[in-house]
Structure 1
Amino acid sequence: MTTVGVVTGAGRGMGLACARELVGQVDTVLMVDRDPETVTAAAAELSAGGGVVAEPFVLDVTDDDGLARLAKRVAELGTLRSIAHAAGVSPTMADWRRIFTVDLVATARLAETLRPLAVEGTAMVVFASMSPMVYPKTPDVAALAVLDDPLHEEFLDHIRAAVGPDIEDTGMAYTLAKLGVHRFVWQEAVRLGPAGARICSVSPGVIDTPQGEQEAEAHPIMARLVEQTPLRRKGHAEEVATVVAFALSDRAGFLNGIDLLVDGGCYAALRTQTGR
């Protein structure tokens, strides 16, 4: 049976790096991206290298009908083996509603849509962020309860009511959305377990990508985080993708329901400084 991998945000950056890492792990990679030109070129490049069939799949991950089409295509191709969900937006790219919709709600919807295709050995890694770990304020119980129900039809209204007007700050919205991803992974691991399938999240620190550069220009704290990182540099997309590939592999078969922090030791340094 043909094994299938799905990579979202696969046209560039960390998504493309993840797709490259799946060569040799699966027979076919569905490269999902909303930009048709970029993802088509990326798929052609990956296929030309041999070792895998890379098929472009144009999709906005917030499109429920499109997600249904994706699940149908996976089933047509073979057995779902790996999912690397790298698609997302950062604070400078959208307003607070779009950030929650793309980074949290679409993550939960993608997992829900592909869950019926999960079999023993299926593994999923969804992208979160270091941001919730370094954010100084812990959400209250009411906000956490809302974050734990991202597929509620009134989710955006509920999170606005629980947090208040501060939620419209895109930095806060991003942090809470990624915290929601961390928490979603706990729940999804329990749901997938009976099928013999797994899920983890990966939380990159400051990574040298065009999206990361855009954030650094708008938020000086990014440079300070790099300075505080023990390795004294930004990470590379390939370094994150290598971790994702391991988590998706059979070698990580007992790795489940946790977050993998890939930040060069930044969080460790911050904890040491604060004595936490």
Structure 2
Amino acid sequence: MEISFKGKRILVTGAGQGIGRGIAIELWRAGANIVALSRTRSHLESLQSEYPSIEIVSVDIGDWAQTRQLVESLGQFDALVNNAAVACCEPFLQSTSANFNRTFDVNVKAVLNISQVVAKKMVENNIHGTIVNISSQASKAALQDHAIYSASKAALDALTRSMALELGPHGIRVNSVNPTVIMTEMAKVGWSDPVKAKEMLSKIPLRRFGEVSEVVNAVVFLLSEKSSMINGVELPIDGGFLAT
């Protein structure tokens, strides 16, 4: 299946490393003009050193006003990937107000903020665009020490459905993907230990964690016209975790 984004302008948040970086690169390879957004400038500069035509912008998306001003200044887009997120993992009884606020500011409010700006310009310019939100299997199943993170991703799924409902009449599709543990460099630190990984892997029928490319490929499909009738879905990329 050949997918091209030639002539399309796409904003990818959290594009400095991990899944976001993989998405930005694959969309660039498919011909898109990419704007990569991240809080960490050095990660963006590393990406741009490899792919000089990728435009980079740095902002802490937890700052509503600053982020809105920046995204407004970037002009119009044909597609958006809301990938940036934070994960504050702690036991429920020890969860703090500060971590709750930070997590929801980045994982939910920032998606609302950025998507409002991008979608409004899509509507104004009659662009039948696409938006993909990166959620998690944690929105669907309880995971130890993930109370705040899980709540934020469940809220993101609900936001995705509402966006799909209200933006659909404008020809704008909105979907989410819900991955299990994905073996980014950061994840390898926490999940390469067979003892720690054993319980989680036992719940995944494929008996392995996901790779970045497996999330990237799903996102690329959902952004493309190959998925033109798919709207408002939450697509698990979990090897069957949620089927058990």
Asked if these proteins are the same fold (TM beyond 0.5), I'd say yes
For residues 2-24 of structure 1, the C-alpha deviation after alignment (integer angstroms, 9 at most, x for no partner) is 53101111010000011012125
Q: Structure 2 length normalisation: TM-score? A: 0.84
Find the counterpart in structure 2 of residue 125 from structure 1. 132
Find the counterpart in structure 1 of residue 229 from structure 2. 254
Find the counterpart in structure 1 of residue 141 from structure 2. 134
1:102 is aligned with what amino acid? V
1:264 is aligned with what amino acid? G
Do the aligned residues in 1 keep the contact of 2:89 with 2:148 (CA within 8 Å)?
no
Identify unmatched segments of 5+ residues in structure 2: 1-5, 91-97
Rounded to whole Å, the distance in 1 between the matches of 2:48 and 2:67 is 19
For residues 85-130 of structure 1, the C-alpha deviation after alignment (integer angstroms, 9 at most, x for no partner) is 1100112498222111111111111111212122443101011110
Shift, 1:222, TM fit? 5.2
Q: 3-state SS of the aligned residue for 1:261?
A: strand
Do the aligned residues in 1 keep the contact of 2:10 with 2:35 (CA within 8 Å)?
yes
Find the counterpart in structure 1 of residue 86 from structure 2. 89
Aligned ranges for residues 1-276 of structure 1 at < 5 Å? 2-47=7-52, 53-64=53-64, 65-75=66-76, 80-92=77-89, 95-118=99-122, 119-135=126-142, 171-213=146-188, 216=191, 223-269=198-244
1:68 is aligned with what amino acid? Q
Q: Structure 1 length normalisation: TM-score? A: 0.75
RMSD (Å), alpha carbons: 2.5
User: How many residues matched?
Assistant: 227
Identify unmatched segments of 5+ residues in structure 1: 48-52, 137-168, 270-276
For residues 47-80 of structure 1, the C-alpha deviation after alignment (integer angstroms, 9 at most, x for no partner) is 3xxxxx31011111122322322232133xxxx1
2:55 is aligned with what amino acid? E
1:124 is aligned with what amino acid? I
For residues 212-245 of structure 1, the C-alpha deviation after alignment (integer angstroms, 9 at most, x for no partner) is 3455489x87541222211111111111011001
Q: 3-state SS of the aligned residue for 1:57?
A: strand
Do the aligned residues in 1 keep the contact of 2:89 with 2:149 (CA within 8 Å)?
no
Shift, 1:131, TM fit? 0.8
Rounded to whole Å, the distance in 2 between the matches of 1:187 and 1:214 is 36
